[in-house]
Structures are given as structure tokens and as C-alpha cells.
């Protein structure tokens, strides 16, 4: 007498679908995606506020933006003629040593000079002469785009 397997019932029937007593081996990605989207929104809102420097009223220009992958060193010249590196005020004699200290590639780093539009043009030229006299050749003026 031969017995055929499965044709005659008598055995346990297998249920389709998930088992009810075991652990679920899937990761729920929804909370992770929610957290990532919230962080993205927070950083998008906070990024414009993270510009370090002295508040200035920059002149407007039709010049296009410079394409640079490396973050430049930024000098700011206030309306009163004070020079700042970041938020630290510098004397004229301290400009080049502080730039050398901040430069990662020595004098090959790009230096941006932000001058208030009400500052004397001679003062801006004087600061640029100090910077270029210190060996920095990639010096540029920063303006706001003309609307």
C-alpha cells in the first residue's frame, strides 16, 4: 500500500501569511524618515542665520557669484573703518598674521573683503593693499546682487 503525500488530508494544513506568535523581522522606516525630514527643515531654516561676521550694508553690483569649492577667508570693514576677521576686530598690523593663521593653504587661499557701502573707498583700498602685500593674490570684493 503506497501512501500519497498531500492527496489524502490527514496532516496539518499550512496557513498562508504570517505566523501569529513569532517576532516581526521588518524595520519600520516611517519614524526614521519623519526625523530626517524634520532635521532637513530645521537646517534649511537655520542655515541663513549661521553666517558669521559683522553686519554690514554691502554695495550692490551686477557681477555674478564666484564659483569656489573651498570656503574663503572673509575680512569685513565697518562703516567706521574697523577691520574684522569673523567677529574679531583687527589692527592693520595684525591683519596679515591673522590671515596666515586662518589660511589652510597659505597664501593660496581666497580672501573676500566685505566693505560697508558707506566706508571710505581709500580704506577699502588700504586693507586690500595690506592683504595683497602679505602675499595673498586671490583677493575679491563682496557685494550684494543688484535687483
Q: Which domain holds residue 137?
A: 73-145
Question: Is residue 41 helix, strand or coil?
Answer: helix
Q: Is residue 108 part of a domain?
A: yes
For residue 10, the model assigns a pLDDT of: 54
> Phi first, then psi: what are they for 17, rounded to 5°?
105, -160
Do the domain assignments include residue 97? yes
Map residue 121 onto helix, strand or coil: helix
Q: Is residue 112 part of a domain?
A: yes
CATH number for 92: 3.30.420.270
Residue 37 confidence (pLDDT): 95
Of 137, 129, 87, 81, the residue nearest 107 (C-alpha): 137
The count of domains in the chain is 1
Considering the domain boundaries, does residue 18 fall inside one?
A: no
pLDDT by residue for the chain (147 residues), tens only, comes to 555 555 555 556 655 665 566 777 888 889 999 999 999 999 888 877 666 566 666 666 666 655 555 677 888 888 888 888 888 888 888 888 888 888 877 777 888 888 888 888 888 888 888 888 888 888 888 777 666
67 located within any domain: no
Angle, nearest 10°, between helix axes 121-133 and 95-102? 60
pTM: 0.52
Amino acid at each position: 500500500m503506497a501512501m500519497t503525500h498531500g492527496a489524502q488530508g490527514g496532516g496539518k494544513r499550512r496557513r498562508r501569511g504570517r505566523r501569529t506568535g513569532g517576532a516581526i523581522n521588518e524595520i519600520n522606516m516611517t519614524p526614521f524618515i519623519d526625523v530626517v525630514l524634520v532635521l532637513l527643515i530645521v537646517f534649511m531654516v537655520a542655515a541663513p542665520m549661521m553666517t558669521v561676521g559683522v553686519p554690514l550694508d554691502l554695495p550692490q553690483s551686477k557681477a555674478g557669484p564666484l564659483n569656489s569649492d573651498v570656503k574663503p577667508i572673509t575680512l569685513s570693514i565697518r562703516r567706521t573703518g574697523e577691520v574684522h576677521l569673523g567677529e574679531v576686530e583687527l589692527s592693520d598690523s595684525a591683519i596679515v598674521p591673522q590671515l596666515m593663521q586662518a589660511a589652510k593653504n597659505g597664501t593660496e587661499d581666497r580672501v573676500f573683503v566685505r566693505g560697508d557701502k558707506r566706508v571710505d573707498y581709500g580704506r577699502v583700498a588700504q586693507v586690500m593693499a595690506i592683504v595683497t602685500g602679505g602675499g595673498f593674490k586671490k583677493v575679491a570684493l563682496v557685494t550684494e546682487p543688484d535687483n
